[in-house]
Amino acid sequence: MRANGNLVEVRGLRVAGHRPGEPDTTIVHDIDFDIARGEVLALIGESGSGKTTIALSLMGHARGGCRITGGSIRVGDTDVRALSAKGLAALRGRKVAYIAQSAAAAFNPSRTIMDQVIESALIHGTLGKRAAQAKAIELFRALALPEPETIGRRYPHQVSGGQLQRLMAAMALITDPELVIFDEPTTALDVTTQIDVLQAFKRVIRQYGMTAVYVSHDLAVVAQMADRIVVLSDGQIREAGATEQILHAPAHPYTQSLVAAVTPVASEATATLEASQTSAPLLEVRRLTAGYGRKDTKGWPAKVILNEVDLVIRRGQTVGVIGESGSGKTTIAKVIAGLVPIAGGSLLLDGEPLAGDLNRRTREQFRRIQIVFQNADTALNPVHTVERTLARPLKFYHGMKGEAARRRVAELLELVRLPAALAQRRTGELSGGQKQRVNLARALAAEPDLILCDEVTSALDTVVGAAILDLLRDLQKKLGVSYLFITHDIAKVRAISDDIVVLYAGRCIETGDRDALSAPPYHPYSHLLVSSAPELRAGWLDEASERCHQTLAPIGSSADDPELCTFLARCPMRIDGVCNRTAPTPRTLANGAQVLCHRGEDELERYQILPLADGTTADASSPRVTVQQQ
């Protein structure tokens, strides 16, 4: 151990973008920080802030087109910048380990999980094969993975995303590294899965006394993991301090903006929306059934994703659809857009039938319904300019070209709050937030009545995502456009939606307006989603398992009957002899929400709003409440 107790010391770190024949452009400026042994330090900031670049420098690595140009980096007794290529290879994976954002990209699909997890130990010679396998099973158990003795025999595609993320952690920890870098390891996960992964990470950090760097843009997540936080923007440290101070007494304006962006502010209902409530619906989805794969003789797809879903969108209204991955959210958008065929039910646009088959729709129907996808990187051609990207729908839908099209492109860029000079930039050169605004401008070029927003903020930083929500609200006020807003984030769906639909396993299990879904009682699954959203305070994660991730008692084998409640296997309020024998029927609560559940309103409320010691009551997601098994 070093005399001062620090494992990591970084002084004057500079990283520059480098192109042959051109002067370097500094992107990380004179960074200083220390990490004590056994401490978790968070690096937080927006995309482009330099947080991942700084974290990678601790391994002596700079990404393509970049190089470390100055400063010193020490990990233990090792001067990282003085290491040769051979020395760096010995450092990486042995002394410093890295856990990436995308576990799927880190695994070879053709090799078993066990072979890949133990590979680093064999390469560095820290363990023999049999000892490495035993150590891997020990890590699988510590990371709360199912069937730890046998999960290593599976292939990566045979486990869930959350399990794969924890398996990548086992891969990193197999060599007992001195420092572990967690680089946005839960960003792509649902909130319910995120809790399991965060708890597993925190458990092994405590158990093994690890020193760690946690890279994230999400302050609420960082609050659960870090002892100290370094706040970055534009490659510079804006503020550094203990987690409690950063969360509750941020000094720098940029830090204050990060804290403010964690909980988006709900929009107020507009007069246009209130007037629309009495008008005919813009779009109706009636008993919609859809899926994928070859159809049987009755016309049903091999894999049914949506099962008799109803949904109504009025003019100038936003309907939010929330649920975990696999719930059917994106499939609803694709069916409405005509990208997935209908197996049952119907669509009505302004009261008139809307063909489920894309080939049977008119150009006018195409124009009226536009879709904005989650990943703007894959939705935009990176070699096309912004002007060319926006000019195509202008020509297709409105016959607009030449000077008229250029003027309209400038108007569209102004609408989405982008400078007109961006028109000549290639889309591949833009930031994530800028790309998503171009993606939205392309949809607006058609002058649609309805825009299907499919997780449009999930790949963005907190501040950028909040700005996109603000933009969507502003456009709705100006243009009267309607949105179907798809997300797994309860705070975002509450912030922008007028009505909310909760999906689970392809069924609509709760519907209601925003106010109805802002306080209990909820459907038990809605309660799980609400209780799984991280709060901006330290200690929340330690209480989360008691609130919403309890071990459930066994229930009858008929739990797999597709006609029964789809949430049965995970429901802490299930009633043996009822829930596993009879399908639930919709019931309307006093707040106007409709839930698909056997439990009555009083039972839901007693479970989700419990008495506190001072005689008041609180939501079961409150930090002061422990929900008891019923």
* DSSP secondary structure letter of residue 385: B
Residue ending a domain, among 239, 261, 283, is 261
How far CA 416 is from CA of 375, 395, 405, in Å, comes to: 17, 20, 17
Return the pLDDT at 618.
45
* pLDDT > 70: percent of the chain: 91
Return the pLDDT at 325.
86
How far CA 268 is from CA of 221, 317, 416, 495, in Å, comes to: 28, 12, 20, 9
* Residue that wins the pLDDT comparison between 216 and 377: 216
**Which domain range does residue 188 map to?**
6-261
Query: pLDDT digits over 312-369, tens only?
Result: 999 999 999 999 988 999 999 999 999 999 999 999 999 999 998 888 999 999 999 9
* Per-position DSSP letters for 394-453, written without gaps between them: HHHHH---HHHHHHHHHHHHHHTT--GGGGGSBGGGS-HHHHHHHHHHHHHTT--SEEEE
- Return the half-sphere exposure (C-beta side, CA atoms, 13 A cut-off) of residue 388: 11
* DSSP secondary structure letter of residue 585: -
Label residue 196 by pLDDT band (50, 70, 90).
Answer: confident
Domain count, the chain: 3
pTM (predicted TM-score): 0.85
Q: How much is the average pLDDT of 592-598?
A: 94
CATH (domain of 111) = 3.40.50.300
In a domain, 420, yes or no: no
Return the pLDDT at 224.
94
Q: Does residue 218 share a domain with residue 298? A: no
pLDDT of 612 > 50? The answer is: no
Q: Does residue 524 share a domain with residue 509? A: no
Query: pLDDT digits over 368-421, tens only?
Result: 999 998 888 889 999 999 999 999 999 999 999 999 999 999 999 999 999 999
In a domain, 626, yes or no: no
Instruction: For residues 165 and 224, give the distance between their C-alpha atoms in angstroms, rounded to a whole number.
Output: 18
Token match 């559940």: residue? 597
Q: Pick from 476, 478, 472, 572: which is nearest to 486 by CA?
A: 472
Q: Does residue 28 share a domain with residue 156? A: yes
Cis ω for the linkage preceding 148 (within 30 of 0): no
Q: Does residue 158 share a domain with residue 100? A: yes
Instruction: Decide: residue 311, CB within 10 A, 0-12 exposed, 13-18 middle, 19+ buried.
Output: buried
Q: Does residue 162 share a domain with residue 101? A: yes
Label residue 107 by pLDDT band (50, 70, 90).
Answer: very high
Query: pLDDT digits over 265-277, tens only?
Result: 666 654 444 545 5
